[in-house]
Amino acid sequence: MRTEICERLGIDVPIFAFTHCRDVAAAVSNAGGIGVLGAVGFTAEQLEVELAWLDEHVQGVYGVDLVIPSKYEGKGADGLSPDELEAKLAEMVPQGHRDFAEKLLNDHNVPHLPEGEHHHQLLGWTATTAGPQVEVILRHPKAKLVANALGTPPEDIIKQVQDSGRLIGALCGSVKHALNHKRAGLDFVVMQGTEGGGHCGEISSLVLWPQVIDAIGDLPALAAGGIGNGRQVAAAMAMGAAGAWTGSLWLTVEEANVPPAQMQSYIEATSHDTVRSRSWTGKPARMLRNDWTEAWEKPENPDPLPMPLQMMVALDGVKRGHRYPEAAKDVNFNPVGQVVGLMNKVERTADLMQRLIEEYLESCERLNKLNNG
């Protein structure tokens, strides 16, 4: 199971775990894979705290996931600080969208945040805000991998990361995007099928993976989208993947910083309960269907805005939902893939890692028996 990318990163197994929780990232890395911390929700100062904690608690290496879309409102606004860009973009958000989001939350009796509690509206959804995050990453020697969730990273960021001896890659949902990543000189590609949680394309994993692998040749391709057990890891590796990029299944581990009400929503959900929606971020993302996603789909209501404007509308709902998950149960942001139908219990991260490896080996043994007659 040890592939070339394992050798380059110094990890035991090619299991990559995207998570917004540092405890999960550390547990995966310490179990032989590599935890990849999602940075989009952190300012540069907050990311410094998270990575310093990971430096202390990770025995080997870890990764960081950025969100720098190829296309977004405000792209090219050179010379503006993150605060200036946020103020400029805030002026582009129609008040009607903010009023609609506020009414949705109020109609569901979701309490407001405590008075005086401030949060940024923009977060790390642009090159301007991601640049300071990259500077933080490069100060932490155990952060050996950087991934971009939406599109090919800017040329200067690719150079910065590679010149520091780190690997940099990006997610893709089509062959076209994968080839763009290869032409830009990235070190790996994450090919995510439409089954995956969060931002995803329209092509299923079983169709996408072999197409991308054939198109990009010897560039390492990590399989993502619908991987929830070792059998699926084995299937991806059999098609030529260099590893498995997982995300959703780490939402229901003991170490996950997921409120109990939200975790219960994941455990109770079936694979039929997800939907691709632009209602939170402005780009199609897979999540649990609920009153929030349904409301933004109705023709008489406002259409979701482009990224990052829609998240500037929705972020108050994210924050209120995280603080008051019981009240926000029907309007919460629950990004997750179709694999949620397999996520029906809570288990320790180390146990889940062990299960993935054992199921992978069992699958390989089953195929060997078939091949040997």
Q: What number of other Cβ atoms are within 10 A of residue 3's Cβ?
A: 16
State how far the Cα of 339 lies from the Cα of 247, in Å rounded to an integer. Answer: 10
Range in 23-32, 47-56, 88-97 the model is least confident about: 88-97
How many domains would you assign to the chain?
1
How many helices, marked H, and strands, marked E, lie in the chain?
Answer: 14, 11
- pLDDT score, position 76: 60
Q: What is the CATH number of the domain that holds 298?
A: 3.20.20.70
State how far the Cα of 17 lies from the Cα of 24, in Å rounded to an integer. Answer: 8
What average pLDDT does this structure show over 17-43? 95
- pLDDT score, position 197: 95
- pLDDT score, position 67: 85
Task: Label residue 190 left, alpha or beta by phi (over 0 means left) and psi (-120 to 50 means alpha).
Answer: beta
Q: How far is CA 341 from the centre of its chain?
A: 19
Which residue spans within the chain are E strands per DSSP?
15-19, 34-38, 62-66, 143-148, 167-172, 188-192, 198-199, 221-224, 243-246, 274-277, 285-288
Sheet holding 285-288, edge to edge: 198-199, 285-288, 274-277
Does residue 32 surpass a pLDDT of 90? yes
What average pLDDT does this structure show over 51-79? 83
- pLDDT score, position 77: 60
Residue of higher predicted confidence among 216 and 124: 216
Does residue 305 surpass a pLDDT of 90? yes
Find the angle CA(291)-CA(150)-CA(131) to the nearest 5 degrees: 115
Percentage, residues of the chain above pLDDT 70: 93
Confidence band for 308, pLDDT divided at 50, 70 and 90: confident
Does residue 234 surpass a pLDDT of 80? yes
Confidence band for 125, pLDDT divided at 50, 70 and 90: low
- pLDDT score, position 117: 72
Does residue 124 surpass a pLDDT of 60? no
Does residue 236 surpass a pLDDT of 80? yes
- pLDDT score, position 115: 81
Does residue 296 surpass a pLDDT of 70? yes
- pLDDT score, position 164: 96
From the list 72, 39, 103, the residue with the least C-alpha distance to 311 is 72
Q: What is the mean pLDDT of the chain?
A: 92
Which residue spans within 128-265 are E strands per DSSP?
143-148, 167-172, 188-192, 198-199, 221-224, 243-246
Confidence band for 131, pLDDT divided at 50, 70 and 90: confident
Query: What's the whole-model pTM score?
Result: 0.92
- pLDDT score, position 42: 86
- pLDDT score, position 1: 80
Q: What is the extent of the structural domain holding 366?
A: 4-371
Residues 6+ apart with CB under 8 A from 330: 108, 290, 291, 292
3-class SS at 19?
strand
- pLDDT score, position 339: 97
Range in 72-76, 201-205, 208-212 the model is least confident about: 72-76
What average pLDDT does this structure show over 186-210? 96
pLDDT, tens digit (0-9, with 9 covering 90-100), for 67-119: 887 666 666 665 667 777 778 888 899 999 999 999 999 999 999 998 877 66
What average pLDDT does this structure show over 136-157? 94
Does residue 352 surpass a pLDDT of 80? yes
Confidence band for 130, pLDDT divided at 50, 70 and 90: confident
